[in-house]
Amino acid sequence: MTSTLSLRRGGASPFVGAQPRARVERVTDDKAMLRTAAELTRDLHAPRAAVYWGDLIASVAVGYGALAAAMLIRPVGWAIAAGLVAVLALYRAGSFIHELSHIKHTALPGFRGGWNALVGVPLMVPSFMYEGVHNLHHAKMRYGTVEDPEYLPLALMKPWTVPVFVLVAALAPIGLLLRYAVLTPLSFVVPGMRRFVVERLSALAINPQFRRRSPEGEAKAQWTRLEIATSLWAIAILTSVAAGVVPLRAFAIFLGVVSAVTVINQVRTLVAHLWENDGEVMSVTAQYLDSVNVPPPTLLPALWAPVGLRYHALHHLLPGLPYHNLGEAHRRISAVVDVHSPYHKASYEGLPGLLGRLVRSSFGRR
């Protein structure tokens, strides 16, 4: 993103590039809804290890199997089909990074290490790039402000912002190879570069003003282990391609699959929120209403918003719920709250309508 942010106070939006909007009435918390949601889901907070491990292993097996097939199959049509399967399966496997930032690791022993070994390091997105960052997005006083690493008022920004937002994601595999194969080793020997790498290149964030703090204690040790492992893997990939061990065709397919995964995730990000806040602190209910659920009966969200991401608004309401219980939580709450409750107002039919709303909003503020 080329947009920059500012901490200016006053009537205008603190996000540079976001157009000022008319003041709207602040949304106060619907305490009845919040209380009902909490009470109805008290028994749904325990993650089931068999579900997590089974889902992850199945997704990885299908994903890497399809990726290998795409690399080896010669008929172009079958190779493309295998590549699409690889994209969807590895996208689902990668989406577990979101769960890692919320679950108590003592409740799922070894899952973080397993995910990093199977997905994080091979796809060059180790979990430290999200853990310690995503939780800031859920902080009540940060959400939707310039201090939120995962928020930009996209609905209030220029129309070109949305396509640029997606284009950046398409280039992600090149950026990740550069980050881990080149800049990581250099950052340990070139004075001043380490701070730049930690602050600017170590978070899956969309806010260009976000600066990552250096880790401390056990978090630093874990970060270092994962960063070294990912760096060695990235160097090995490039060395193998340069030496002719890995064919250029296979390398291009790998890059294409990773690029497609990041593009799908970026498109999903575009519709995870309404992106209409201009920097003010919001109530929990307002944060919920700025977020999106795409519940059944629509089926496609299971592909583009897997691992519970189709219930993103509910997740902001109850971030501690494991993904496999979000559907049950939604059913319980929907059946109990009043028909006029704000809870129902965060549910939408699907991706096209949400993208259209975002694009129309940005064009309306040229």
Burial of 110 (0-12, 13-18, 19+ CB in 10 A): exposed
Q: What is the pLDDT of residue 2?
A: 31
Among 101, 139, 131, 162, residue whose Cα is nearest residue 287: 139
pLDDT at 273 over 90: yes
pTM, 2 dp? 0.92
CA distance 118 to 60: 7
**pLDDT digit string, tens, across residues 183-218:** 999 999 998 999 999 999 999 999 999 999 999 999
Among 54, 59, 100, residue whose Cα is nearest residue 303: 59
Give yes or no for a contact between 112 and 100, defined as CB atoms under 8 angstroms apart. Answer: yes
Give Rg (Cα) of the chain.
21
Instruction: List the structure tokens of 202.
Output: 């170590």
- CA angle (65, 311, 48) in 5-degree steps: 60
Tell me if 11 is assigned to some domain: no
The reply to whether omega before 297 is within 30° of 0 (cis) is yes
Task: Indicate the SS3 state at residue 273.
Answer: strand
Range of the domain at 54: 27-366
Tell me if 38 is assigned to some domain: yes
Q: What is the pLDDT of residue 18?
A: 64
Q: What is the pLDDT of residue 180?
A: 98
- CA angle (331, 336, 341) in 5-degree steps: 100
pLDDT at 268 over 70: yes
Tell me if 328 is assigned to some domain: yes
Tell me if 59 is assigned to some domain: yes
pLDDT at 8 over 70: no
Q: What is the pLDDT of residue 63?
A: 98
Tell me if 7 is assigned to some domain: no
Burial of 93 (0-12, 13-18, 19+ CB in 10 A): buried
Q: What is the pLDDT of residue 25?
A: 53
For residues 258 and 158, which has the higher predicted lDDT (pLDDT)? Answer: 258
Q: What percent of the chain has pLDDT over 90?
A: 89
Tell me if 14 is assigned to some domain: no
Q: What is the pLDDT of residue 64?
A: 98
For 311, phi then psi, to 5°, come to -110, 50
Cβ-proximal residues to 292 (8 Å cutoff; 6+ apart), any chain: 271, 272, 273, 274, 312, 313, 346, 348, 354
Cβ-proximal residues to 110 (8 Å cutoff; 6+ apart), any chain: none
Tell me if 2 is assigned to some domain: no
Q: What is the pLDDT of residue 53?
A: 98
Total structural domains within the chain: 1
- CA angle (171, 202, 258) in 5-degree steps: 30
Q: Mean pLDDT in the chain?
A: 92
Among 343, 290, 344, residue whose Cα is nearest residue 33: 343
Tell me if 126 is assigned to some domain: yes
For residues 278 and 60, which has the higher predicted lDDT (pLDDT)? Answer: 60
